[in-house]
Structure 1
Amino acid sequence: MTEHATLKHHTDLSEVREDLIKVYASVRADLLHLPNYKVEAFTERLGRHGDDSGWEVVMAHAPDGEPIGYAYANTVEPGNRWWTRMDAPAPAEYTSSPSLAIKEIGVIKPWRGQGLAQAIHDELLRSRDEGYVSLLVNPAAGDGKVKRLYEGWGYSAIGSQQPSPDSPPLVCLGRRVAQQ
């Protein structure tokens, strides 16, 4: 199925806001009752993230044009709150120059398990200039399956943080943007 999905880059949130919210609600359907996962909380974060430097999303669409997945990220500078919320200083290679922070990755259920999330992720990284990329993951998500998936993509733990009081404790994973 993955080979039938189309991937498209966007740097203007207004072009994809409604599609992102729709896909998010489907992806997180089982968690929407929790404060940090409510659609309203996501919409607020999305608006803030969309204004950040270097914001970009890759949207995946089914052959009929329906949005089925996404990954979005932005550039984080040294001293950004992405780094200051860490429980211990992140490695200097991540924090001494601009790096990429992936804020969200999601694929709707019928399209999961086929490599689409990794294809979206890889497409997002393909055109980036930053040397390093990081993302946050709930280590309990999918009984650890999500964290293991990212580790299979070359990520390793570089710290942890709790971005908001409503958020669970998260592990920060990182790797070089371009894998050798």
Structure 2
Amino acid sequence: MTPAPAIELRSFTDLDAVRGDLLDVYAEVRAPLLHLANYAVSSFGERLDRHGSEDGFQAILAYAAGHPVGYVYGNRIEEGDRYWQRTDPSPGHKYTSHPVVALKEIGVRPAWRGIGVAQSIHDAFLSSRDEPYVTLMVNPAAGNGKIHALYRAWGYEDIGHSQPSPASPRLTVMIRPTTQQPTHV
């Protein structure tokens, strides 16, 4: 059996340096859903551009043999951010009274799933953050519930729901401390 090529993790705070790679990986990761308006590459590109211009933007990409195979990105959100305004029920002061990092997207090309790439890029992303909490939104139906369960295994807990846009599905909002050591699955 031939071992998989080594994964190199690279961190970016400038969207322009990595935008093409993010779009490329996204298109393969979300291929079965690209016909839906919310998941179209153009919709993702608009969200990515908005997120990339916000405070605390960071992306971590995994590369194998020089080719991008996975990514995670997010940015800092503050009290009053529309992220919190759309969360129902409103999250407690414990979470909103200080900056929190919002993990906006994570994806791994199908051929690279199941070998720890997602957890590696997730953990690398959190290791450089100084916010006390990380939050994310997940479609509870994604992967027949497996993605939601994976985030729970990584220490996230449900705190509410959100529908960021009319084209978006209803998402579960999850949160955990950034320094928590997730359970490896």
Task: Identify the residue that residue 75 of structure 2 maps to in structure 1.
Answer: 74
Task: Output the amino acid matched with 1:35.
Answer: A
Q: Percent identity?
A: 53
Structure 2 Cα separation of the partners of residues 171 and 146 of structure 1? 11
TM-score for both structures, normalised by structure 2:
0.94
Please, what is the CA RMSD of the aligned residues? Answer: 1.1
CA distance in 2, matches of 1:170, 1:3: 35
Aligned CA distance change for structure 1 residues 128 and 174 (closer, same or farther; 3 Å): same
Residue 38 of structure 1 aligns with an amino acid whose one-letter code is A
CA distance in 2, matches of 1:44, 1:167: 14
**What secondary structure is seen at the aligned counterpart in 1 of 2:168?**
coil
Is residue 28 of structure 2 the alignment partner of residue 26 of structure 1? yes
Q: Which residue identity lines up with residue 13 of structure 2 in the other structure?
A: T
Letter of the aligned partner of 2:132 in structure 1?
A: G
The alpha carbon displacement at 1:101 in A equals: 0.2
Find the counterpart in structure 1 of residue 38 from structure 2. 36
Secondary structure in structure 2 of the residue aligned to 1:61: strand
Deviation for aligned residue 1:13: 0.3
Structure 1 equivalent of residue 110 of structure 2:
109
Equivalent position of 1:137 in the other structure: 138
TM-score (norm 1): 0.97
Q: Which runs of 5+ in 2 are unaligned?
A: none
Alpha-carbon offset, residue 25 of structure 1 = 0.1
2: CA distance, partners of 1:87 / 1:129 = 26
SS in 2 for 1:71: strand
8 Å Cα contact 1:2-1:111 kept in structure 2: no
Quick one: distance in 2 between partners of 1:73 and 1:91?
21
Give unpaired runs (5+ residues) of structure 1: none
Q: Which amino acid in the other structure matches residue 136 of structure 1?
A: M
